[in-house]
Structure 1
């Protein structure tokens, strides 16, 4: 596999991941747990594939005498071969898609945190029995929650 082929495959995989992150964002906003489950498994597969492709590219770069890190890519592009200009374009596209995917992933993390916070608030309300502080006991009779309540002075 050539550097160009590696970059082409990486761009395709990263584009797929970016699209999946957008789908995840919609699923989070809509509360669609089935779609969310699908996106999670798809992300795992794609992240593995991207890591493998990056490893192949790094190995190829090292074999060609270049540093496998991003700085080495810039050195590779200074060569005057036929495909380096196209590879440079692919590299820039990969970096751009990766940056957008990173931002979408950050946004999804914020959505997840907000959803978790809402769920925790709902659980807290249910655990306290709502604003009145009472719950129905096993006998069907209302019982008062005797747990400590901050800011309340017992009488």
Structure 2
């Protein structure tokens, strides 16, 4: 049984059909690719300083992450029906037992490669965020006058440099 999105539902995957498993892997590869594409957009925004879109990227990443988690549950449910573990060893064993499932194997290889790319992009984006935060902190510190607060002008508009009398007070 298929849900409206064209993907198998969990009950179908759990029955152990290879076609539902392949569809889950194809959906997973598509979702990871979308995540990679979004991380690239985020990296571009961070690199150029165009941070206005970052909140919407975060929202989209959360939706994609939820979808990826759901697809992993489907994949793991299928592996469980085959008596295999819900891990790399389990999926490796499934492919070893089904050497003619080339499309599924190639799709899974794509999922793994895309996941590595996403992990690296996420790491780089984290570094860009740290650099931007350091830059902003330094700029803020410069605007505040560093560690030496200089009150150059008082509320009356007169100079108030440290420990020096005003010219009009010396007279």
TM-score clears 0.5: yes
User: Aligned pair in 2 of structure 1 residues 44, 135: CA closer, same or farther (>3 Å)?
Assistant: farther
Match of 2:79 among 50, 61, 68: 61
Structure 2 equivalent of residue 88 of structure 1: 105
Cα–Cα, structure 1 residues 67 and 145, in superposed 2: closer, same or farther, change >3 Å? Answer: farther
How big is the alpha-carbon RMSD for the aligned residues of Structure 1 and Structure 2?
A: 2.3
Runs of 4+ in 1 over 3 A off after TM superposition: 129-146
1:50 aligns to 2:57 (yes or no):
no
1:18 to 19, 36, 41: 36
- Size of the aligned set, in residue pairs, is 145
Max Rg structure: 2
Change (3 A) 1:137 1:12: farther
Q: Could you tell me the TM-score, scaled by structure 1's length?
A: 0.83
Counting only pairs closer than 5 Å after superposition, residues 91-110 of structure 1 correspond to structure 2 as: 91-110=108-127
Secondary structure of 1:78's counterpart equals helix
Matched, 1:140 2:157: yes
The alpha-carbon distance between structure 1 residues 45 and 137, as it changes in their structure 2 partners (threshold 3 A), is farther
Gapped runs of 5+ residues in structure 2?
1-7, 9-19, 164-171
